[in-house]
Amino acid sequence: MRQRGAALLIAMVILTMMATLASSMVWQQWRAVQVESAERARVQSAWILMGALDWGRLILREDARNGGADHLGEPWATPLAEARLSTFLAADQNNTDDGPEAFLSGSITDAQSRYNLRNLVDPSTGKVLPDEQLILERLFESIAVSTDVAVRIAKQLNSATSQVNPAANSPLPPDSVAELTWLGIDEATVQLIQPYVVMLPIRTPVNLNTASAQVLAAVIDKLDLGGAERLVQARQRKHFASVLDAQNVLGTNYSLNPSRVGVNSSFFELGGRLRLGDRILEERSMVQRRGLDVVTFQRRRVNLRESTTDGGR
């Protein structure tokens, strides 16, 4: 009787061990499938967003072939509305019925529609340019940001980018507006000024055809927001083919500095957005157009849950 009880106990122990091993193997198999699926989705998403970037570069290259001023009536300024990915892959949607629901959208914006913070510091002397700092102060005042912030940004950028007697404790030079937090600017202020300023590799003028009224009023001496709005309305009727066209609208009371304003742009921001299930992957790329070449010099990717997208970035 004891032998039969021991045999039963051993059998139960063996059965428990086999069940545990089987469960472990099933879990490891499931985990491996999940990891492989996630990696495949990541690689596929990266390639799709790379395609969105190539789409934007192609449009900008074709625009360069046509020449002329850059304005909001051109094809590059029309965003790509969200569409099912299968519409880009095949005419027959039956080919992708078994795949995940994926939607792609994109946009191109003129980076030179914003004030370039790189203009604040003279690269040859490493000093803040007073006239440029005044422009930034006027801009911040128009968007209800303290002018002290403009002074702090100019001072910190001077310290971060100066090649003349650089300080040992100088902050890292930012490559984007988001990185102004490195200079001690709080996140809320960065979010507020981001639609109006940009950080580009070199000094650039503001495009009269694409800039907001606030930016135009800041870069054009003596121009108030009312005058800037009239300039925006005039370009909506007909874009400015040259700086002289804008000068004719403003009249002789205002002087347009060609080093501050222009009608052509070389820097653009390309945005791609992929919605896959409950995940949203966004990519922002800064590109420079050099003749017919469009060179990418900055890329930033953000992975978001769909429920958080309404709150912005």
Percent of the chain's residues with pLDDT above 70: 82
Where residue 309 falls among pLDDT bands split at 50, 70, 90?
very low
How crowded is residue 135: how many other Cβ atoms within 10 Å of its Cβ? 23
For the ranges 18-22, 45-49, 88-92, 257-261, the lowest mean pLDDT is seen at 88-92
pLDDT (average), residues 208-216: 97
For the domain 10-112+266-311, what is the CATH superfamily, name and number?
GSPII I/J protein-like (3.30.1300.30)
Greater pLDDT, 99 or 207 = 207
Where residue 76 falls among pLDDT bands split at 50, 70, 90?
very high
Q: Whole-number mean pLDDT of the chain? A: 84
Residues 6 or more apart whose CB falls under 8 angstroms from that of 165 comprise: 126
Q: Is residue 52 predicted with pLDDT exceeding 50?
A: yes
Beta strands in the chain, from DSSP E residues, in sequence order: 80-84, 102-110, 115-116, 121-122, 127-128, 197-198, 206-207, 261-262, 267-276, 279-290, 293-305
pLDDT at 8: 72
Angle at 167 between CA 161 and CA 171, to 5 degrees: 55
> Which ranges in the chain are annotated with CATH 3.30.1300.30?
10-112+266-311
Task: Give CA 189 to chain center in angstroms.
Answer: 17
pLDDT (average), residues 199-223: 96
pLDDT (average), residues 275-302: 87
Task: Give CA 262 to chain center in angstroms.
Answer: 22
Q: Is residue 270 predicted with pLDDT exceeding 80?
A: yes
Concatenated DSSP letters of 128-158: E-HHHHHHHHHHHHHTT--HHHHHHHHHHHH
pLDDT (average), residues 133-160: 94
Q: Is residue 96 predicted with pLDDT exceeding 70?
A: no
Greater pLDDT, 28 or 228 = 228
pLDDT (average), residues 277-288: 86
pLDDT at 277: 72
pLDDT (average), residues 287-305: 85
| H or E segment to which residue 32 belongs | helix 2-66
pLDDT at 170: 67
Max mean pLDDT among 42-46, 102-106, 203-207 falls in: 203-207
pLDDT (average), residues 132-141: 97
Greater pLDDT, 137 or 304 = 137
List Cα–Cα distances, 105 to 49, 80, 87, 225, in angstroms: 10, 5, 12, 33
Predicted model pTM: 0.80
CA 195/CA 121 separation, integer angstroms: 21
Q: Is residue 12 predicted with pLDDT exceeding 90?
A: no
Contacts 24+ apart (CB under 8 A), 62-69: 64/289, 64/291, 64/292, 65/292, 68/241, 69/209, 69/239, 69/240, 69/241, 69/242, 69/263, 69/264
CA 192/CA 201 separation, integer angstroms: 22
| H or E segment to which residue 11 belongs | helix 2-66
* Sign for the pseudo-dihedral over CA of 188, 194, 196, 198: positive
Where residue 313 falls among pLDDT bands split at 50, 70, 90?
very low
Where residue 94 falls among pLDDT bands split at 50, 70, 90?
low
